C-alpha cells in the first residue's frame, strides 16, 4: 500500500481499513459533502487498483469473461462489469472505459493482483496484454456537475455520478492544487450510500449474486452469454427471485455511534434478541439526511416493516424489489 501525497494537505486524516492510504476527511466532513453535491472539488481515490488491457482483441476477449457487453463499446463510454464464480457469486467489480487503444479499469484496493492472475489464466491465444498500472496511475473523482477542465491525454470515465480520471501519480499534487477543495472518502461514501450504489466487499459477501444489489442492467447485460456464472444469472432472472435484497435505511439520529459493517438487522417488533434477517453493509452520516445506511436483508422481509440495525431503529426504503 502506497500512501497518497495528498495526505499532506491541511487537515487530512487518513482513512482506515480497506481505504487506508488516502484521506477519510480534511477536517470538514459535512462541508466536503456539500461541496461534492454542488459539483465542486475532487476526491482522491489513488488507493484503488488500476488495471489495463491492450491489444487488438481486448474488447472481444473481455466480452467473454465479464458480465457486460463489450464487443462494441465506443471509445470514451464508461461502463462497469463483474467477474462471477461458476455459481454466479460476485468476485470482482470493474469500472471501465476504453480510450480506443487500451481498456482502463479501476478496482477495489488490493484486489488487482488476484484479478490479473485470473485474466492472465484466460489469455490463451488472444492478442491481449494485461498490466497492473497501480504504481504509475491514480484515480481521482470529479463530482457530477463539476465544470473543471481535465487536460487531454488522460483516460476519463464520465457517469451520472461524476468523472473518474486516470492520472499519472506524479501529477496528483498539481491536480489537487488546480481542482480543490479536496473531499475525503467519508464524503464520497455518504453520497454513494445516498445514491444506493453498491460496493464490492461492503455490500457483498461470499455468496452475493448481482440481482441482490441491483447490478442487473448496470453491470450485467442480460442479452449476452458465454461468461462464467451466466447460468445462475439467467436462471434467477427468468425463473425465480434472489434470496436477499439491498435496502436503504434511515437510522435513528439519537444514537451516537453508527452500526458497523456486519451489524445484524432484525424486525423491530422482535426486539434485539429476534431472528437475524440481514446485516448492515455501509453506514454513514449525511449532511442532509442524517445517519443512513445500506443493508442486505432476506427477500421476504416486509418492505414497510420497521427494523433494528443492532440497537438502532431503522426505517427502510426499497432499493431492490422483493
Answer yes or no: is pLDDT of 2 > 90.
Answer: no
| Per-residue pLDDT reduced to its tens digit, 26-45 | 999 999 999 999 999 999 99
| Per-residue pLDDT reduced to its tens digit, 291-301 | 999 999 999 99
pLDDT band at 285 (very low <50, low <70, confident <90, very high): very high
Answer yes or no: is pLDDT of 1 > 80.
Answer: no
Q: Which pLDDT score is estimated for 249?
A: 98
Q: Which pLDDT score is estimated for 322?
A: 92
Kindly state the DSSP code that residue 39 receives in the 8-state scheme. Answer: T
Q: Which pLDDT score is estimated for 152?
A: 82
* Residue in the block written with cell 462471477: 84
The CA R_g of the chain, rounded to the nearest whole Å, is 20
Q: Which pLDDT score is estimated for 226?
A: 85
Q: What percent of the chain has pLDDT over 90?
A: 94
pLDDT band at 237 (very low <50, low <70, confident <90, very high): very high
Q: What percent of the chain has pLDDT over 70?
A: 100
| Per-residue pLDDT reduced to its tens digit, 66-79 | 999 999 999 999 99
pLDDT band at 57 (very low <50, low <70, confident <90, very high): very high
| Per-residue pLDDT reduced to its tens digit, 107-162 | 999 999 999 999 999 999 999 999 999 999 999 999 999 999 988 889 999 999 99
Angle at 216 between CA 283 and CA 79, to 5 degrees: 85
Dihedral (Cα; 95, 36, 192, 195), 10-degree rounding: -110
Rounded to two decimals, what is the model's pTM? 0.96
In the chain, where are the structural domains located? 6-48+136-195, 49-132, 243-321
Is there a contact between 1 and 20 (Cβ–Cβ < 8 Å)?
A: yes
Cα–Cα distance list, 99 to 73, 75, 104, 158 (Å): 10, 5, 8, 12
Q: Which pLDDT score is estimated for 156?
A: 97
Answer yes or no: is pLDDT of 176 > 90.
Answer: yes
Mean pLDDT, the chain, integer: 96
Q: How many CA atoms lie within 13 A of 106 on its CB side?
A: 22
Cell numbers standing for residue 305: 416493516
273: helix, strand or coil: coil
Q: What is the mean pLDDT of residues 235-255?
A: 94
306: Cβ–Cβ under 8 A, 6 or more apart, which residues?
Answer: 267, 268, 269, 313, 314, 315
* Alpha-carbon gap, residue 309 to 248, rounded angstroms: 12
Cα–Cα distance list, 4 to 10, 94, 266 (Å): 14, 22, 39
What spatial distance separates the first Cα and last Cα of the chain, rounded to whole Å?
A: 40
CATH number among 3.30.110.40, 3.40.462.20, 3.30.70.1400, 3.40.50.300, domain 49-132: 3.30.70.1400
pLDDT band at 286 (very low <50, low <70, confident <90, very high): very high
195: Cβ–Cβ under 8 A, 6 or more apart, which residues?
Answer: 161
* Alpha-carbon gap, residue 137 to 121, rounded angstroms: 24
Identify the CATH class of 243-321. mainly beta
Answer yes or no: is pLDDT of 255 > 90.
Answer: no
* Alpha-carbon gap, residue 248 to 269, rounded angstroms: 19
Answer yes or no: is pLDDT of 92 > 80.
Answer: yes
Cell numbers standing for residue 28: 470538514
Angle at 181 between CA 175 and CA 182, to 5 degrees: 70
pLDDT band at 254 (very low <50, low <70, confident <90, very high): confident
Q: 72: buried, middle or exposed (CB in 10 Å: 19+, 13-18, 0-12)?
A: exposed
* Alpha-carbon gap, residue 250 to 25, rounded angstroms: 23
Answer yes or no: is pLDDT of 246 > 80.
Answer: yes
As separate numbers, helices (DSSP H) first and strands (DSSP E) second, the chain gives 6, 18
Nearest to 254 by CA among 314, 189, 316: 314
* Alpha-carbon gap, residue 166 to 131, rounded angstroms: 14
Amino acid at each position: 500500500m502506497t500512501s497518497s501525497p495528498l495526505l499532506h494537505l491541511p487537515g487530512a486524516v487518513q482513512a482506515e481499513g480497506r481505504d487506508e492510504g488516502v484521506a477519510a476527511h480534511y477536517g470538514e466532513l459535512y462541508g466536503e459533502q456539500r461541496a461534492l453535491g454542488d459539483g465542486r472539488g475532487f476526491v482522491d481515490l489513488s488507493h484503488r487498483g488500476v488495471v489495463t488491457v491492450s491489444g487488438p482483441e481486448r474488447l472481444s476477449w473481455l466480452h467473454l469473461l465479464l458480465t457486460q457487453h463489450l464487443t462494441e463499446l465506443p471509445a470514451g463510454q464508461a461502463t462497469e462489469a463483474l467477474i462471477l464464480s461458476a455459481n454466479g457469486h460476485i468476485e470482482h467489480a470493474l469500472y471501465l472505459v476504453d480510450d480506443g487503444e487500451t481498456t482502463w479499469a479501476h478496482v477495489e484496493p488490493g484486489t488487482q493482483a488476484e484479478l490479473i492472475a485470473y485474466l492472465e489464466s484466460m489469455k490463451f491465444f488472444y492478442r491481449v496484454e494485461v498490466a497492473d498500472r497501480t504504481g504509475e496511475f491514480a484515480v481521482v473523482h470529479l463530482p457530477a456537475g463539476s465544470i473543471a477542465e481535465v487536460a487531454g491525454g488522460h483516460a476519463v470515465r464520465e457517469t451520472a455520478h461524476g468523472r473518474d480520471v486516470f492520472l499519472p501519480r506524479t501529477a496528483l499534487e498539481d491536480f489537487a492544487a488546480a481542482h480543490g477543495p479536496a473531499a475525503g472518502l467519508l464524503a464520497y461514501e455518504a453520497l454513494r450510500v445516498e445514491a444506493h450504489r453498491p460496493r464490492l466487499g461492503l455490500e457483498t459477501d461470499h455468496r452475493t449474486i448481482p440481482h441482490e444489489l441491483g447490478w442487473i442492467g448496470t453491470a450485467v447485460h442480460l442479452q449476452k452469454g458465454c461468461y462464467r456464472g451466466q447460468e445462475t444469472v439467467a436462471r434467477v432472472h427468468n425463473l425465480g427471485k434472489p434470496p436477499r435484497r439491498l435496502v436503504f435505511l434511515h437510522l435513528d439520529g439519537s444514537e451516537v455511534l453508527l452500526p458497523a459493517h456486519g451489524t445484524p438487522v432484525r424486525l423491530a417488533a422482535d426486539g434485539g434478541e429476534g431472528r437475524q434477517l440481514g446485516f448492515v453493509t455501509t453506514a454513514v452520516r449525511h449532511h442532509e439526511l442524517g445517519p443512513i445506511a445500506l443493508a442486505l436483508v432476506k427477500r421476504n422481509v416486509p418492505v414497510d416493516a420497521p427494523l433494528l440495525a443492532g440497537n438502532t431503529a431503522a426505517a427502510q426504503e426499497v432499493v431492490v424489489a422483493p
